Amino acid sequence: MKQLAKLVTACAIFLLVMAGCQKELSVENNMGGAKAEGTLLDSSGNCQSAIIRGSFVMDSTMTDSNYALINVNFTGTGKYVISTDTVNGVWFIDSGYVQVAGSKTIQLKAYGTPILPITSTFLVQFNGQFCSISINTVAELDYLPTNAGSNWTYQYLPSLMGSSGPLDSFKLTTLVQYIPYNNKNYYQYATSLADTFYFAKDANNTYYEFGTVDFDYTSIFDDIGGFIEYPYLKDKAPVGTSWESDEMDVLFGSFAGVAVKPGKAKSVFTIAGVNQTMTIAGKTLTNVITVKREIYFKETGGIGFSKVLTGTSSYAKGIGMVDQNIILSATDSQSVTATNWKIN
């Protein structure tokens, strides 16, 4: 009673609003100055497991999706602060008030920006105890995963030639070796159909193929005298940006009833969509870029190029090509769609 009277008197003397008194009384009633007690350890004295959420990408600032879930056994109520040290430009922290003792899961939010693509180990500190958590920071996600063993499964829709055999789908796998060419590293991608494709990326976020000027994984030309290098995607270019490949010597025919003819071919590319959201294989993908590809052919001795095919290819960040649609006629098309992928 003496403490309460003294508090009321102080409020009256300094003419403070009653809200100020109520706030102080509320803090006192809620044990505002108490410090939570507890442990990061389990009953056997070992650090409890933690769960890391979100993608940790070099040079990408942490967002609300980047956090660590840790288990804490609180033995006393009060305020708490649980934090880590700073490693590779990133740290974790959370604070709050525990009103009921017991086991709780605490979400430590990540802050900062990863500097290097490395594995980092953080020390979680609470109540004089330390436990570690580790995260793996990857290089900037792009539209051409190159880690060996990454693989994709694609399905032709509708099925090729009405069949239900192995040509209806194929698996693509990144091989271990790459081939330096023209100041780029061309990575090899082998299919279960015994084909090999070569793709690369330069420092300006332009992606290249070394091959024939066809659609991805769907060939209509036979090359004469070797492949050529051409850009098929520019991930910083705005919608409407266009470019074309060099010309190459090809044999064209045995396609849609066309007789085999020698000549030259080229492709014209146009950015048709950026920052798109698509649902592929039941997964919602963001940052998708769609590129329109128009393929032209000029028969040897002919005058001018004629367009022979038009289609679109869609590329998801961190995954690569996820969907392709080739227009065969006014009423017919051929799609190549990803049904599964594993990126190492």
For 144-194, the pLDDT digits (tens) are 988 888 999 999 887 655 555 556 889 999 998 889 999 999 999 999 888
Dihedral (CA of 171, 172, 176, 179) sign: positive
Residue 20, pLDDT score: 40
The ranges assigned to domains in the chain are: 1-30, 37-136, 151-342
Residue 217, pLDDT score: 85
d(CA 315, CA 317) in angstroms, rounded, equals 7
The answer to whether domain 37-136 and domain 151-342 are alike in fold is no
Residue 344, pLDDT score: 78
CATH architecture of the domain with range 151-342 = Beta Barrel (2.40)
Residue 124, pLDDT score: 96
For 37-136, give the CATH class. mainly beta
Residue 4, pLDDT score: 34
Residue 174, pLDDT score: 93
Residue 257, pLDDT score: 61
Residue 255, pLDDT score: 55
Biggest CA pair distance of the chain = 109
Residue 308: C-alpha distances to residues 26, 109, 266, 296 (Å): 78, 54, 10, 6
Low-confidence ranges of the chain (pLDDT < 50): 1-31
Residue 3, pLDDT score: 39
pTM above 0.75, yes or no: no
d(CA 325, CA 293) in angstroms, rounded, equals 10
Residue 16, pLDDT score: 35
Phi and psi (nearest 5°) for 2? -65, -45
Residue 21, pLDDT score: 37
Residue 155, pLDDT score: 92
